[in-house]
Amino acid sequence: MKKDFLCMEGVSAATLTKLMDDAAEMKKIVLSGDKSTDILKGKTVATLFYENSTRTRCSFEDAAKYLGATVTVVDVSTSSVQKGESILDTGRTIEAMGTDVIVIRHSASGAPKYLADNVGCSVINAGDGLHAHPTQALLDLFTIREKFGKVEGLTVTIIGDVKHSRVARSNIVSLTTMGAKVRIYGPPTMIPVAAEKLGCEVCSSIEDAFKGSDVIMGLRIQLERQQKGLFPSYGEYAKFFGVTPERMKLANKGAIAMHPGPVNRGVEFSYALCEDECCYKDIQVTNGVATRMALLKWILED
């Protein structure tokens, strides 16, 4: 049966655990001197990114190559999308070339689901609008489990633009599924209405956000939204919501700071925090390759 991976809703704890177990094995390959395997020999993976990306796109491409698959990179800026080809026709064209998996990122929420409903090959959502970024949540989950040996019972506090963050949305779902307590904090203009309905608690101050946290997860301030006046200035954001080594001292002993990237240094994370050993942003990137290898294998193994 065709498998897609479109969002974290409905993904069971058992499936997440299996993917994390496999990712631990895949990480050994990523860190080894010889990354060539033939686990997905004969398969083809296409990346179709309508939005910019460094981490997600490159890690999917590396993951597929390390597994021995053929990789097709569709450069939307020079493809027939520029002649007006629709997402449906582009997807079907890629499929008609014998592609097994299309990895898609799109600014429109729901675009990956629309494609998945209309092609026969598997579709992976690499981020759609404000909706979901399930592979980011998967690598974040893996990073937390790798560090603490478990996810259940931990407190994860997400700080920043939760309202507009597909990363936050997917993380809240997967962390809750795995038994973590999820809290959020940020400028009131960036906290979703009825946040509690998402299964998370809203912190009342920056001190409360750090106290009792095992993981602090920062979110990118989306610079393109700055002109909408969601917060007064970058300086004020850093002062009231920025993650610093000093603030990390308020968190639980051994707490880590995570960020999906790209980081606006000096805004969400201070320059000093980016160089601090509690900052896991680069470990997350490495884990992104391992978890995407595990996911591609899971999608294609049958």
Cα gap 188→20, rounded to integer Å: 34
Structure tokens given for 237:
């954001």
Contacts 24+ apart (CB under 8 A), 26-34: 26/63, 26/66, 26/289, 26/290, 26/291, 26/293, 26/294, 26/297, 27/286, 27/287, 27/290, 29/66, 29/290, 29/293, 30/66, 30/286, 30/289, 30/290, 30/293, 31/286
What residues numbered 1-20 form the site for ligand CP, per CB under 6 A? none
Our CB check for ligand CP shows the closer of 133 and 183 to be 133
56 sits near ligand CP (criterion: CB under 6 A): yes
54 sits near ligand CP (criterion: CB under 6 A): yes
Cα gap 53→56, rounded to integer Å: 6
The β-bridge partners of 72 are: 46
Our CB check for ligand CP shows the closer of 261 and 266 to be 261
CB of 187 to ligand CP, least distance (A): 21
Our CB check for ligand CP shows the closer of 56 and 174 to be 56
CB of 166 to ligand CP, least distance (A): 9
CB of 125 to ligand CP, least distance (A): 11
Among 99, 125, 136, 270, binds ligand CP (CB under 6 A): 136
Our CB check for ligand CP shows the closer of 52 and 189 to be 52
Our CB check for ligand CP shows the closer of 52 and 233 to be 52
Q: How many residues bind ligand CP (CB under 6 A)?
A: 9
CB of 137 to ligand CP, least distance (A): 10
Only one of the segments 28-36, 47-55, 115-123, 192-200 lies at the binding site for ligand CP (rule: CB under 6 A); that segment is: 47-55
Cα gap 276→117, rounded to integer Å: 44
286 sits near ligand CP (criterion: CB under 6 A): no
**What is the phi/psi pair of residue 95, to 5°?**
-60, -40
CB of 260 to ligand CP, least distance (A): 4
CB of 250 to ligand CP, least distance (A): 26
Only one of the segments 82-90, 143-151, 254-262, 293-301 lies at the binding site for ligand CP (rule: CB under 6 A); that segment is: 254-262
Among 260, 269, 287, 300, binds ligand CP (CB under 6 A): 260
Among 55, 106, 169, 297, binds ligand CP (CB under 6 A): 55
Our CB check for ligand CP shows the closer of 222 and 252 to be 222
261 sits near ligand CP (criterion: CB under 6 A): yes
> Is residue 115 within 8 Å of 123, Cβ to Cβ?
yes
Cα gap 298→278, rounded to integer Å: 31
127 sits near ligand CP (criterion: CB under 6 A): yes
212 sits near ligand CP (criterion: CB under 6 A): no
Only one of the segments 70-78, 142-150, 229-237, 255-263 lies at the binding site for ligand CP (rule: CB under 6 A); that segment is: 255-263
- Could you tell me which residues come within 8 angstroms of residue 234 by beta carbon, excluding any fewer than 6 positions away? 221, 226, 264, 266, 267
Which chain residues interact with ligand CP by CB under 6 A?
53-56, 127, 136, 260-262
